[in-house]
Amino acid sequence: MKSYICGIGTANPPNKVPQMQVADFMAAAHQLDEQGSRKLKALYRVSGIGQRYSVLEDFTRQNGDYTFFPNTHDLEPFPTVQQRMEVYRKHALDLSEQAVRNCLDQVSATPLQSLTHLITVSCTGMYAPGLDIELVERLELNPCVRRTAVNFMGCYAAFNAIKLADAICKADPSARVMLVCTEICTIHFQKNPEEDHLVSNALFGDGSAAVLMQGQPCQEVSLELQSFHCDLAPAGKREMAWHIGDTGFEMTLTSYVPDLIKNGIKQLTERLLQGLRTTVSEIKLFAIHPGGRRILEVIEQELGLTRDDNRFAYRVLHEFGNMSSATVLFVLKELMASLTTQEKDEPVLSFAFGPGLTLESMLLKVHYAEAKV
């Protein structure tokens, strides 16, 4: 039995914010002096991010015109968890719907009512009845569609959703699974001046990605699932973490994370490829979660990749920033859009990383329908 990724759709909120404009907002919010402001802006300049998207207009405005943050010099009283969750609920459904419709626009003869399973993924907001039920109602799906929620796993969560969809499709060849990763990261800005928080604020944006998976390839190009491997680096448990505090979700992301990934990525790849008669040197297509510029660079160093090998990840990082679980799906979408029949049967290597420290890997294969070859 096999399973295939047949289409990937994406969506972002309308507020596109240049990276250095976010830096200006953060410098003012942290009330930094001239030296502190210069250091912060240097961090933003080397991030590899050109722009990000946010559901909040405040990042494009001046203090006095804010609609979410208080119009006070210190942004107090700071938004509560409840206020942030209200914003999440207001926007998550629309973004998710846009991503699903964008996905199905690319896959012919797939009506919404034919979907048998729905998997929703998020670590930036929760409520019940949740996003899954609201999507069923908004999209007028079959009310008997089987629903699963993957919550609070962070940037690697899309891999767990894909694994679940893979198991469903292999158990039932008639299954059509829609998985939706929706993350609204920018509502969780924290004023904590520690370096970890400053780094987090420099990376994350908002976005949604939807993937259609099924037991048969689609009419044109698909990605056939080959293998998965997951590993843990417990030494990084405190280096990347995600907790709920009194004023929002608090991300810890230290400068040691790239080194931890560097130390584990070669072994992770060897275990994934073991027994598949494939080596890294034979792989030409990569879809790597751009957790940050430095993470991409250390993977290249360890696996002998070039920046061009990693071009899809760099492009997504520059255009969208890190959108947590949705990001690697944006990268896979870029890769799929670039494929030609010359790449039929080529392997695709994909990675994502998150709290734990969790290292996820996946091997896929490019599939073209015979009529198109």
Quick one: CA dihedral 205, 207, 213, 217, positive or negative? negative
Q: What is the 3-state secondary structure (H, E, C) of 52-78?
A: EEECCCHHHCCCCCCCCCCCCCCCCCC
Residue 155 is a catalytic residue:
yes
- Distance, in Å, from the CA atom of 223 to the CA atom of 40, rounded to the nearest integer, reads 40
Measured from the Cβ of residue 216, the count of other Cβ atoms closer than 10 Å reads 13
Among candidate residues 103, 155, 185, 218, the one labeled active-site is 155
Q: What are the angstrom distances between the C-alpha of 71 and each of 34, 68, 76, 264?
A: 22, 9, 8, 45
CA 220 to chain centre: 25
* Site of tokens 């909120």: 13
| DSSP secondary structure letter of residue 305 | -
Length of the chain: 373
Phi/psi of residue 241, nearest 5 degrees: -145, 165
Which two structure tokens, joined as six digits, stand for 349?
């290597």
Contacts of 129 (CB under 8 A, 6+ apart): none
Residues 145 and 112: beta-carbon distance below 8 Å: no
Q: Which residues pair with 70 in a beta bridge?
A: none
Q: In 3-state terms, what secondary structure has residue 190?
A: coil
Active-site positions read 155
